[in-house]
Every structure is written in C-alpha cells, then in structure tokens.
Chain A
Amino acid sequence: MSSTFSQSPWAIETREVSRVYQTYVKPEGLANSLKGFWKRQHKDKIALQATTLQIPKGQIVGLVGANGAGKTTLLKVLSGLVRPSSGEARVLGFNPAERDSRFLRQISILLGQKNQLWWDLTPHDSYALLAEIYDLDKTAAKKRVHDLAEILNCTHVLETQLRRLSLGERMKMEIIGALLHEPEVLYLDEPTIGLDIVAQSSIRKFLEEYVALKKPTVILTSHYMDDIAKLADRLLLISQGSMVYDGTVEGFTRKTESKKLLRFSLAEPLAAALPIMNLHTLPAGEQNLSLQVTNEELAPVLSKITSLSGVKDITIDERDFEDVIREFLEKESRLLPSRGAHQP
C-alpha cells in the first residue's frame, strides 16, 4: 500500500482512520440459539469514525470520552493491535499495523485494567525478561529499574510475586515495565483507575515528573479530571467514535464553565413556585430542592436561599467529572450513547 505520508514532522498522524467491528446478533432463547447454527445476523458497530489528527513530538494529549466512545480503539490502532478498517496511521514514521519490531521498540502501552507483567513472576524476573526482549544492557536495565522503583517508593516489592501485590503496587510495577525501554511514544489507558487517592496522586506526580524529564509523546486516557488537567498539553474529546473537541485543557475548562450543585431542604413544602434572581425557579410543592449554579451565581443565590424560612441541610457539591464531560458531549454532539455502552 503506497503511503500518502511523506517525511511527516508529526510523532503520530492519522488520516481518515476508522474502525468498524462486526458483531453477531442473537435474539433471546433456545430456539434462536438453534437457529443461529445455520442463519446468523450480524451488525456493524462503528468504534471509530474517520479521524484525522496530528500530534507533534513531545506533546501530552489527554483523550477523554464516555465508555464505548472509541478511545481505546484509537489507542489499539495506534499501537498496532488492531488494523483500521479504512484510512492510514503513522507513528514515528511507521505503519502500526505492520508491527515492525523497530516501531514496537519505541512505543509502550499501559492498560490500567490489565496486567501486562507476568502474573506468577516477581517484578525483578519480569524486568529481566523485558530487558532481553528489548535487547537492553542488563546492568543499565537493572539500574533503571532501581531508579524508577526508588522514585515510586516501591523497591520493597520487587522480589514479591506480582499476584501477591496490591492494586496500587501492581500499577507501579506496570509503569516501571512500560518505561523500562524509554519509549518515544507512550499510550496510557486509565493508568490510575481503581486506585485510592494516595496512589493516584503518587502515580500522577511520577508521570508528571517523568514526562517533563524525558519528553515522550503521550496519549493519556482517564476518567479522572486531575490526571488530564495536570498532565495534558492538549485535550481531545471523543464521542461515538468522533472527535468533538480538540484544544487546550484551559479552553475546555472555560467552555464548560465549572458549576456547583446546591442542595437544601425546607421545613414545609413551597406553597408556590419561587423565582430566584430571574435565573432559577424553585417548583411549588417540593421540600427537598437542588440547583446547579455557576461560581458567580453561588453567593447571591445562597443569600436568597438562606433568607427563606425553615431552610436547613444546605450542601454545596462539585459536580462529578463524568457529569461535566457528559453535559459537554451532549451539547457538542447530541449523540452521546447511554452510559455503560458496550466496549467492543
């Protein structure tokens, strides 16, 4: 296949790259199971719409979207795990689908929900194996493991079987494994998922320092806003397999304008609908109420509410990141599928 890419200045570049999966549709019941022996229905699911993007060397890109939006599919295409149904991709000048060993030596993919080291081995044994696989100098690899483990504060678990480590310790081990060969391109798929706040913060801080020092090109997916805000130079929002936002994190924050959720109760239900500052209206007959307000609206609205008789239990919550993303994606695309959509 002749390439339309020539001497690309980009670390990662795609042109109209898409991926469609075919799935088998089986209606409920035994009769339909038997029918499936000779007649099967299939349907196509577009996991990634035609996507064109360029990522320069050293840029940290945050890739955000709902479950099933196409984030992981894009990472799989860019790492050579799956072939695109159409279009072309180039990473460091290589076609990922060819899985050239020179390409594979320069990338690393960290899947936060999967073990990539050997479950039955100690991290030390796994790293020795990885050093062989990547043709690394054994002494240099050992030193690198030691240095990374020191920074991550986990030298004490290097000789314990992976299966016996906590989730946070395992993730640290996976990170060392992913960085051992100093990849030029790093795909981080939910690196902090399921971790407690301390472990999240520790890994985030480590990655922040690592990318500042080594300057790899990174694509990071995460459901945690802090991961994206602290690490990413650029934000890509993906919905139903399409890019719906490509810009800076600051631009995104300005666009979505952070809102707060104000909840309170009244001693008696409201007798009639009550307008608040011509911005909101509290419905009649309700006793437990909530309002979404901007930072600017918060003080005057709060003042108005506290002046009501019998008001109690006032709470102010930051909205969940998922809700902010969902609202944004709904506004941008009007296409967001229901939560928990199946990931192919």
Chain B
Amino acid sequence: MFKLENLSHRYSDGTLAIDNVSLNFARGERVAFLGTNGSGKTTLLNHLNGILKPTSGNIYFEDKPLAYDAKSLLTLRKRVGFVFQDPNDQLFASSVKQDVAFGPLNLGYTADRVKELVNEALVTVGMSEYVDKPPHFLSGGQKKRVALAGVLAMQPEVIIMDEPTSSLDPIAISDILHLLLQLNKEKGITLLLATHDVDMVPLFAEKLYILNKGKVVSEGTPKTIFSNAELIRKVNLRSPRIAHLFEVLKKENGLPIADEYPLTISEARKEILRLLKTTEK
C-alpha cells in the first residue's frame, strides 16, 4: 500500500531527522514505530499524508508517487487520516459536532451526508452524547476519541496515530487500543502508530520498526525484535516488563525458557504453564 524509497528529511535548521529510510507496508496491517523522543517517528509519519515533503527519496501510495498539489493532497488526506499527539492541536472547532464535521465538509459532502458520517464516527468512538459540547468540556481521553472521530468521519483507509496513548490514564489507554483493534478488524483500516510505550506494542502491532536517530535499525514482528535485548538497549529503549522478567529468569536462574520471550500476559501464562508441566515430568 505504502512504499518508501530512500526517504530522507532534513529540517531547515540542518537536523537530519530521517536518514535514508526504505520500507513498505500492506493494506490492513497494524504497524508500530518505536523509538525514543527525537528518533524521527513523527517526522516519518508526517510524510505519509503529505504534511512534510521528503528532502530526497520517494513515497508511493498504491504504486503512485505522492503529488503535492491541492487536489491530490485532498484525495490523499481523505484516504490517509492523521491523529495528532496533542488533541488540543487538532480540536479547533467550538463544538464536538463542528469539529468532527470539518473533514467531511472539506470533502464537499452534502449536509445530510456529513451529519450521517459525524453520527457514525461519534458512535464508533463512543462519544455521541457529547455531540454538542465544546472541546474544553472534555477530559484528555475523551478529546483523543473525538480527534479520532474527526479522522474516522472522512472514512480513511489508513489511520496514522502519533503517540495514541500518551498522557492517558490506564483505562483510557486500554479503551483506545481496543477501539483501534476493532477498527482494524471490522473495517480493515490500516493502522500506523508512533509510540514509545513498549508495553503497548505487543498488544497492538503485527509489525514493528525500531527507529534510532532517523534510521530504521530493526524491523520484524514484536516477538523477534524484543528477543534481541541488546539491540533494544542500544537504542535506549527497554523490553516490555514481562519479556524482561523472562529474560532475567532465563539468564540469571537458568530456567528453560523459549528463545522468543513472552510479551503479553496471555503469552506469559502459557509459558509458565508449559514450564510447570516440564518440571513436573
């Protein structure tokens, strides 16, 4: 679906934020970009719906190179939605309804069609009772949902989210993750996430890219990547807590644990039960 070829981006102050990145992902994938602050995640994702232009290299969306005239950008942005990290940047209208309606109105739909899309999007994110409220009435988690609804109302095929879980409480994080997984499953929406929340990644992503200083240093499934603990530490990240526990149990206590560490609670449970059975024998 997306193909990036030797993409580089240099900011006007001279910082090389993206350094020769090539990658591609398919329709319906759930992809996470993991990296520390300043590793280039946001800059990379900003290229995918035309917010930033590459300094060099090419981006293809469905085999066509991105064009940057107003009409092509509108078509691209209808198909590729971007949810920003700080919902206060994104929610600018005076009410939830007006904000969610902004995208569809820009696409030139009729008022009735827009109302339909707004309602549908707000039902999906569970915010329909706040339709007439102004954004400053909402909590952080609620704002994030409305920001997501604003993108959903444009019926995108790809949703890009920058730090979807930052500054949310645990319940709000788990709600938004479930919502994203549901969108991916039911509507086949391709999801691209930038995050530094390592514990969230295995719950969400099928494919993981590790970014460091503007370069992709590793790619693969969360399982293969997190079993390489040295690499993770080298780029100043850490493994998920559960993987770390199993790594210590294996290396310090010599327990016969599989090479790919469990990353989630359910995987850990399986591994523990397997271990108990082998020791019983």
Chain A bound to chain B: no
